[in-house]
Structure 1
């Protein structure tokens, strides 16, 4: 007698296992710890020989590159009722050849291996068959197959998490019908692979993780809303009215708060990430200040050059990002890294500029920096080359 019931699939991923799954695993652990000697007396059950179907289906988006064993419990896969007389003293039975080699053989050979597709690694979190003798008069056994897999995309040396699968099947059998266990387990594995295949086919055109390339467009943010922020514009030099902060106790006549930032908006178009990257070079009026009613133009030039240095660093960042071969799974992390490097460079240059010009008091040094800054602004087409 064989009765299949209630295919169980729990996805999208859940953070914790269901109470039923937790209890099944706990029962398994208790049985192993309390009755290893009794389990050893059962010798009638052979390892489960997992058969490989000729071809489950033909994937169009992925191939299985490998398996990783991440089971916390690496005891044999199955906890089976060997006979009526055994009651609920279960016998542990593994897959023939070992769990992971058997699963590898199944996944590698039941699906075509096409290296032109996306390489996927399957992490085996859990894989169990648990049985209970529910009627010792009629010899009825209930079984549960539980699978917990994670599917991850291989990107160079990285693994990119795609999908968690938690599912399995329930079945009933007679105590002597051990042969029905393998087909149920095999069907559960097939269901897991089919579920992932359906997911990746649906997600491939729109999911950022599955995109194959990144197309970047970089632009400046220059909108002036006459509020607290002045964004760098070569046609709009600073004026003293931009310095609205309260002067601090300092030996200097003025101070500017100039900085850089960015924002990015991305979408997937036809399997390609389109990234709109907006670079911002700005000064804050409320954090910039000037002391005195009629400061000279020399002082304003010194503060303008701080703003120019921030813009030069922004342009260097633009140049760097334009030369990168960005990947869909980590382009945001890579851009963030280079932005932080640029931010550190800006701070270093600002300090060097103030030190060498004595905060604008050393006029000859100031002139050297003026020429140096102008040369780089011209190189970035931010200043008239005439």
Structure 2
């Protein structure tokens, strides 16, 4: 049996503990880690002398880089980890939206790379704030508030 390299985010697919296939790093004190992120691809073509852009932005979960400690994890922990993946999707949609609104120049490669780096920086800051405000899932009330917020953000941008 081979390990799945990545899981594409889906509104109907929820993470299960069996998706967390990585090894717990020595010295780590965390209960679990979700490795998720955003990837993009694009191509350009010309139509009537104007540059057009085809692109795709997606969010992925990486099973072999994600792990958990079975003895201390529960359904609340799994929900917390799912929201990390959902947050990646929120920022993938943000990048998708910005790609659709940007008028790129002949320097499109560099422009897209800069956009991607900025989105990743924002994503990282948002993920950190989520962990701090929820105390890594231990603050149940804050966890519920974040769950509502992320659900709302996904609904606002479900057309991307």
TM-score (normalizing by structure 1): 0.38
Structure 1: stretches of 5+ with no match in the other structure: 1-225
SS at match of 2:64: helix
Give the whole-Å Cα distance in 2 for the aligned partners of 1:320 and 1:268.
Answer: 20
Q: Is 1:296 matched up with 2:74?
A: yes
More helix, by proportion: 2
* Alignment match, 1:368: 145
Give the whole-Å Cα distance in 2 for the aligned partners of 1:337 and 1:251.
Answer: 34
Match of 1:276 among 54, 58, 61: 54
Structure 2: stretches of 5+ with no match in the other structure: none
Q: Deviations over 1:219-272 (max 9, x none)?
A: xxxxxxx72101111111111111000012333221111111211122334533
SS at match of 1:244: coil
Shift of 1:278: 1.3
Larger of the two Rg values belongs to structure: 1
Give the whole-Å Cα distance in 2 for the aligned partners of 1:346 and 1:363.
Answer: 22
Q: Deviations over 1:304-351 (max 9, x none)?
A: 000111111111111122222222x12222222111100000000011
Match of 1:315 among 93, 97, 121: 93
More strand, by proportion: 1
Match of 1:325 among 103, 118, 128: 103
Q: Is 1:235 matched up with 2:9?
A: no
Give the paired residue count: 156
* Alignment match, 1:10: none
Match of 1:245 among 13, 16, 22: 22
CA contact (8 A) 2:56 2:96 kept: no
Match of 1:337 among 110, 114, 131: 114
* Alignment match, 1:305: 83
* More contact order relative to length (CA 8 Å, sep ≥ 6): 2
TM-score (normalizing by structure 2): 0.89
